[in-house]
Amino acid sequence: MDDIQILDTVERYIRGEMNPDERLHFENLRKSSPEVDQMVVEHTLFLQQMNRFAEWKKFRSVLHNTHTNLSEQGKINSAKLKGKAKVVYLWNRYKRVAAIAAVIAGVTALIFTSLVNFLNPGTDSAKVQELSRDIPNIKHQQNMQVNEVNNLKNEVNNIKNKINLQSIPFKAGGTGFLIDGKGYLITNAHIVHTSRNIAVTNNKGDQYRAVLVKEFPDKDIAILKIDDDKFKPLSSIPYGISKTESDVAEPIYTLGYPRNDIVYSEGYLSARTGFNGDTLSCQLGIAANPGNSGGPVFNHEGEVIGILSTKETEAEGVAFAIQSKYIFNAISELKKSSKDTSYQNLRVPTKSSVRGMDTKEQVKKIQDYVFFVKGD
Amino acid sequence: MKSENNEKALLQGLARSDKKAVEAIYKENYNMIQSLILNNNGSADDAKDIFQEAMIVLYERARSGSFELNCQIRTYIYSVCRRLWLKRLQQLNRYSSEVSDVIETVPVDDEIEDHERRNTEFEMMDKAIDSLGQPCRSLLEAYYLQKKSMQEIAVSFGYTNADNAKTQKYKCLMRLKKIFFSQYKNGSL
């Protein structure tokens, strides 16, 4: 009961409902008793909050009533949308959905069109023939342009890095394969020999910018490095590079990009030497096409035994590969000649982790590490 | 000069939550805000919500006494609504391109921050009162919000006398204060 009375008194005090005598008396009480004082302070805060809350609620209901009144009187646009406003509203609300739907529809249409084209046998063979004619044309053009290109080379070198890959008309194409997950590739020197810009594409179609680290024209080996923020270093390379020479008649296969898709072909090691007894290379009996250049030659244990580089023009199915031991030579030369310390960490895999798998499984693992190399 | 005085009068009216002033400001500005919201991915209900929030911001500022509006009411409301709506869009993760402006805006971030803080406080209070249940809730609302006297309350709630009502009110108040101060400490302080 006491507490109730005290609270009542405090409330009357805060609201100023006391007469002067009572007030004086209470203020004395407040001074003498810290508990009462504390109660006054606390309750004042509480009442203030309550008052503001009451006003807030009242104002909200005023607003609500005003809204209802005004929209009933038609002085503001009512909540119900009609005619054009509704269309505009729906359009604004769903334009994103509509855009996505349109994109999906467009993509589907494109896929179907390309599928129909692709599956149509008549046009297909025509395209293959066109391609085989295109290559000499390009080569011819390229030869004519070499002089001009060389003149312009120095000027253009400065702006090299700013050039968008998409806008570069790549003319030379070949294959390359990773020797280090950090993005070091081996390919033929003749592919990138005259190139100002190099791009590599994996079998998923992701294109990265690459730079020439060093080329060894005498061995026809070039070391590239992928220099692109998009490229994520790969953990381990499934194949090893063989240090030893292989035996004649050993079955071999290669992966390469004679066209935009990765292509598998197989054959055998015909001879331990290359064209005219060249000891740098070895002879393969395999169907190879322009574009297979720079591709890795695997034995059936998934070891790289060579780099496919040339083919005999006068005989079909005869190709030559640079022996894999020269990859090691090239890399040790690079480490010796270059001051760049990052090359010292270059590790070439010697053990194949796909050993013992059948060829189909090996290719599945390996194909992500074989790149389409393009140069202009 | 005349319109300036007019706006001042409106704000003074708003501070007293005078119905005519509220109606005048409402009538003058609501359609502009509704089209802003509708053109930027919102519904008419959103527009009403946002506009009324902005009105409360304006109301709080008008009440604070020291307030001098250094731009038109219209500009001020538009700025607040625009800011609030962008915030709302962000919270909903709804697609929002930058809201296209029809009129110029003034910076209102501080006010909106104050407003949001107050809003959470009031919502806390609302919840606390709600959680008391009946008849506590009505009793306290009648006494503290509607400012009825204990005699009136005793009659309308069917207590035999004002003292009984006081006892009941005291018990309810203690419960409310307990909830309120625990939340107050946890929440905003």
Residues B121 and B177 in one domain: yes
Q: How far is C-alpha A184 from the geometric centre of its chain's CA atoms?
A: 17
Among residues A205, A222, A194, the alpha carbon closest in space to that of A165 is found at A205
For residue A139, tell me if it sits in a domain: no
Domain extent at residue A28: 2-73
- Domain final residue pick, B107, B132, B165: B107
Q: Cβ A49–B26 below 8 Å, yes or no? A: no
- Domain final residue pick, A73, A106, A131: A73
- A81: contact with B, CB 8 A cutoff: yes
Residues B98 and B127 in one domain: no
Of A53, A54, A67, the CB nearest to B48: A67
CA angle A34, A38, A39 (to 5 degrees): 120
Domain count along chain B:
2
Mean pLDDT of A181-204: 87
For residue A135, tell me if it sits in a domain: no
For residue A54, tell me if it sits in a domain: yes
Give the orientation angle of helix B19-38 with respect to helix B2-15, to 10 degrees. 100
Does position A176 have pLDDT exceeding 90, yes or no? yes
- Domain final residue pick, A73, A104, A121: A73
- Domain final residue pick, A73, A93, A117: A73
The two structure tokens encoding residue A204: 């998923």
Q: Where are the alpha helices (DSSP H) in A158-311?
A: 189-192
Residues B129 and B115 in one domain: yes
Pick the range with the lowest mean pLDDT from A188-192, A331-335, B30-34, B69-73: B69-73
| Cα radius of gyration rounded to whole Å, chain A | 40
Would you place residue A1 in the very low, low, confident or very high pLDDT band (cuts 50, 70, 90)? Answer: very low
For residue A32, tell me if it sits in a domain: yes
Q: Which among A15, A48, A76, A100 is the top mutation candidate for probing chain B, defined by the most B β-carbons within 10 Å of its own β-carbon?
A: A76
B119: Cβ contacts below 8 Å, ≥ 6 apart: none
Does position A280 have pLDDT exceeding 50, yes or no? yes
Residues B49 and B130 in one domain: no
Beta strands A198-201; A207-216: pairing state: antiparallel
Does position A288 have pLDDT exceeding 80, yes or no? yes
Among residues B90, B38, B82, the alpha carbon closest in space to that of B57 is found at B82
Pick the range with the lowest mean pLDDT from A182-191, A269-278, B163-172: B163-172
Residues B87 and B129 in one domain: no
Q: For position B148, which CATH number holds?
A: 1.10.10.10
Q: How far is C-alpha A175 from the geometric centre of its chain's CA atoms?
A: 20
For residue A162, tell me if it sits in a domain: no
List all residues of chain A from 29 to 48 with a beta carbon under 8 Å from chain B. Answer: 42, 46-47
**What is the least distance, in Å, from the CA of A77 to any CA of chain B?**
6
Residues B16 and B68 in one domain: yes
**A-B contacts at Cβ under 8 angstroms:** 93
Q: Cβ B170–A7 below 8 Å, yes or no? A: yes
Residues B100 and B7 in one domain: yes
Mean pLDDT of B16-30: 84
Mean pLDDT of B115-135: 80
Check residue B2 and give its pLDDT.
Answer: 54
List all residues of chain B from 8 to 67 with a beta carbon under 8 Å from chain A. Answer: 17, 19, 22-23, 26-27, 30-31, 34, 38-41, 43-45, 48, 52, 55-56, 59
More confident site: B127 or A86: B127
- B127: contact with A, CB 8 A cutoff: no
Residues A174 and A37 in one domain: no
Please count the CA atoms within 13 angstroms of the CA of B189 that sit on its side-chain side: 7
Check residue A157 and give its pLDDT.
Answer: 55
Mean pLDDT of B37-54: 84
Does position A150 have pLDDT exceeding 80, yes or no? no
Check residue A297 and give its pLDDT.
Answer: 93
For residue A109, tell me if it sits in a domain: no
Check residue A341 and give its pLDDT.
Answer: 77
Q: For position B37, which CATH number holds?
A: 1.10.1740
Residues A333 and A228 in one domain: yes
Check residue B96 and give its pLDDT.
Answer: 55
pLDDT digits (tens, 9 = 90+) for A295-310: 999 998 889 999 988 8
Check residue A78 and give its pLDDT.
Answer: 57
For residue A94, tell me if it sits in a domain: no
Q: Cβ A60–B170 below 8 Å, yes or no? A: no
For residue A155, tell me if it sits in a domain: no
pLDDT digits (tens, 9 = 90+) for A256-275: 988 888 899 889 999 988 88
Q: What does the mean pLDDT of chain B come to? A: 78
Would you place residue A132 in the very low, low, confident or very high pLDDT band (cuts 50, 70, 90)? Answer: very low
Q: Cβ A76–B31 below 8 Å, yes or no? A: yes
Residues B151 and B72 in one domain: no
Maximum mean pLDDT: which of A311-315, B67-71, B83-87: B83-87
The two structure tokens encoding residue A351: 């053990």
Rounded to 5 degrees, φ, ψ at A302 are: 80, 25
Written in H, E and C, the secondary structure of A148-160 is: HHHHHHHHHHCCH
Check residue A55 and give its pLDDT.
Answer: 83
Domain count along chain A:
2
Query: Does the CA dihedral A267-A272-A277-A280 come out positive or negative?
Result: positive
**What is the least distance, in Å, from the CA of B1 to any CA of chain A?**
27
Check residue B101 and give its pLDDT.
Answer: 60
Residues B67 and B94 in one domain: yes
d(C-alpha A107, C-alpha A113), whole Å: 10
Residues A176 and A65 in one domain: no
Domain extent at residue B156: 111-187
Q: For position A323, which CATH number holds?
A: 2.40.10.120
**What is the least distance, in Å, from the CA of B108 to any CA of chain A?**
20
DSSP β-bridge partners for residue A241: A304
The two structure tokens encoding residue A329: 């030579």
- A264: contact with B, CB 8 A cutoff: no
Taking contacts as CB-CB distances below 8 angstroms, the residues of chain B near A79 are: 44-45, 48
Q: Cβ B44–A7 below 8 Å, yes or no? A: no
Residues B42 and B129 in one domain: no
Would you place residue B188 in the very low, low, confident or very high pLDDT band (cuts 50, 70, 90)? Answer: very low
Residues B92 and B123 in one domain: no
Check residue A108 and give its pLDDT.
Answer: 92
Q: How many residues does chain A have?
A: 376
More confident site: A123 or B64: B64
Burial label for A300, CB within 10 Å (0-12, 13-18, 19+), is middle
For residue A316, the one-letter residue type is E
Among residues B169, B184, B72, B77, the alpha carbon closest in space to that of B127 is found at B184
Check residue A162 and give its pLDDT.
Answer: 45
Does position A139 have pLDDT exceeding 50, yes or no? yes
Residues B126 and B51 in one domain: no
